[in-house]
Amino acid sequence: MMQDLVVVLVFITYAILVLIVFGVLLTWVERKQAAVMADRIGANRAYIRLPFTRIKLVWIGLFHAIADGLKMLLKEDFKPDAHDGLVYEIAPWLVFAPVLLVFAVIPFGGTLVPSEILSFSESASKWFAGRTYQMQIAHLDAGLLVVFAFGGVTVIGAMLAGWSSGNKFSLLGAVRAGAQMISYEVVMGLSVLGLVLLYGTVDLVDVVKQQSGIVLGVLPAWGIFLQPVAAILFLTAAMAENKRVPFDLPEAESELIAGYFTEYTGMKMGLFMFAEFIEIAVIAALFTTLFLGGSNLPFLGDAGFVFPGGTEVPLAHGAVVLIQVVVFLIKVLLMSSFQVQVRWSLPRFRYDQLLRFGWTFLLPLGILNLVATAVVAYVRNG
């Protein structure tokens, strides 16, 4: 029992660290990637001076995240006169917490056998004898449903923030957020249903395990190759859920100041922004889990690489676990970077275009994809 507690605590620490680091790092990635895409250099002026020297560490602008954080923490905590006390305070947390919670069911690695990793210590490996763990905080059979349940809570936070601010721009932003996020939630659910039909499960660990094979001889059996339409639909809907360009109507700067968090200052506003950046990482993790094979690397099994020609490269268990964790992180980073690229490439929709796009283009496409998948699954499995 204690062993489980220790392992889960390690997983939780790792997950929170990864999310916070991704949230901070993505502010830097967003600035720098946008700059490189636009022939610019990007933020590179924040520095840390080594004490008692004149050496300034710039580190390609990484310290701007610290400067941002300090600025938000030290700002005056302004509240509008007309705000609704309790709701105004809890709204940022209602946006921030579900984003972290979603990560609880995402498997960020393969199978972990602590007794093999701790084999250098006799007592430690004996303590863990015979126990294996999936690298995931909460192993729930209904993992995918939990993702959608928590993803839906974010809408409530955004709407409460807008309602409780006592500002018409905030209210408009909140109404837009509500309509937009509920519309795209439908598309997101439909796009994933096709995968559920194929895999026959909503357990994310099982989903990842089923993507470890090879299809058509060369392609890894990742969801994106089995369900390419669903992958595009899911990514589109997920970006709309995250309210980023081209779907940033709820916080459209040129129309609504900052949308539903106009009246928030300091770290409360920072929580909204931080939630947005962490959600980029969470969406990337979710996309990786569902469509990019999670922590699977082609030809990498539990005992090492097994190439089709019969060549085998045996690896220690620790090395395999490390490779799987790193592979997952790299996939997440690439997907986050792709979302940033989309954000800096496409112009914002008009609001009627946004809803029409969701209901009359993405939704029918999702249904068609689902029907086609159902037919194929029926023909194949009888």
Does 132 participate in binding other proteins (rule CB under 8 A)? no
Does 41 participate in binding other proteins (rule CB under 8 A)? yes
For residue 239, give the amino acid letter. Answer: M
Question: For other proteins, what does the binding mask look like between residues 293 and 332, x meaning CB under 8 A?
Answer: ----------------------------------------
Judged by CB under 8 A, the residue of 93, 341, 360, 378 near other proteins is 341
For the chain, the first-to-last Cα distance in angstroms comes to 43
- Choose between 161 and 237: whose C-beta lies nearer to other proteins: 237
- Choose between 228 and 308: whose C-beta lies nearer to other proteins: 228
Q: How far is the CB of 166 from other proteins (least distance, A)?
A: 33
Q: How far is the CB of 256 from other proteins (least distance, A)?
A: 23
Does 334 participate in binding other proteins (rule CB under 8 A)? no
Indicate the Cα dihedral angle 321, 327, 328, 331, nearest 10°.
180
CA distance linking residue 236 with residue 333, whole number of Å: 18
Judged by CB under 8 A, the residue of 267, 342, 376, 377 near other proteins is 342
Judged by CB under 8 A, the residue of 10, 73, 326, 346 near other proteins is 346
Judged by CB under 8 A, the residue of 2, 39, 77, 381 near other proteins is 39
CA distance linking residue 207 with residue 373, whole number of Å: 16
Chain residues 204-243 in contact with other proteins, contact rule CB under 8 A: 232
Find all residues with CB under 8 Å of 21, minimum gap 6, and list them: none
Judge contact between 14 and 138, C-beta under 8 A: no
Judge contact between 209 and 216, C-beta under 8 A: no
Q: How far is the CB of 40 from other proteins (least distance, A)?
A: 5
How many chain residues bind other proteins (CB under 8 A)? 16
Q: How far is the CB of 35 from other proteins (least distance, A)?
A: 7
- Choose between 165 and 339: whose C-beta lies nearer to other proteins: 339
Q: How far is the CB of 239 from other proteins (least distance, A)?
A: 12
Judged by CB under 8 A, the residue of 14, 127, 299, 344 near other proteins is 344
Q: How far is the CB of 84 from other proteins (least distance, A)?
A: 38
Find all residues with CB under 8 Å of 286, minimum gap 6, and list them: 102, 106, 147, 238
Tokens standing for residue 308: 């089709």
Candidates 36-44, 48-56, 79-87, 197-205; binding stretch for other proteins (CB under 8 A): 36-44
Helices and strands of the chain, counted as H and E runs:
15, 9
Does 355 participate in binding other proteins (rule CB under 8 A)? no
Q: Is 264 helix (H, G, I), strand (E, B) or coil?
A: coil
Find, among 285, 280, 275, 281, the residue nearest to 94 by Cα: 275
- Under DSSP, the state recorded for 312 is E
CA distance linking residue 221 with residue 200, whole number of Å: 15
Q: How far is the CB of 60 from other proteins (least distance, A)?
A: 9
For residue 337, give the amino acid letter. Answer: S
Judge contact between 188 and 363, C-beta under 8 A: no
Does 360 participate in binding other proteins (rule CB under 8 A)? no
- CA distance readout (Å), 269 to 91, 316, 366: 11, 46, 35
Judged by CB under 8 A, the residue of 128, 150, 261, 357 near other proteins is 357
Which positions touch other proteins (CB under 8 A)?
33, 35-41, 232, 341-342, 344-346, 357, 361
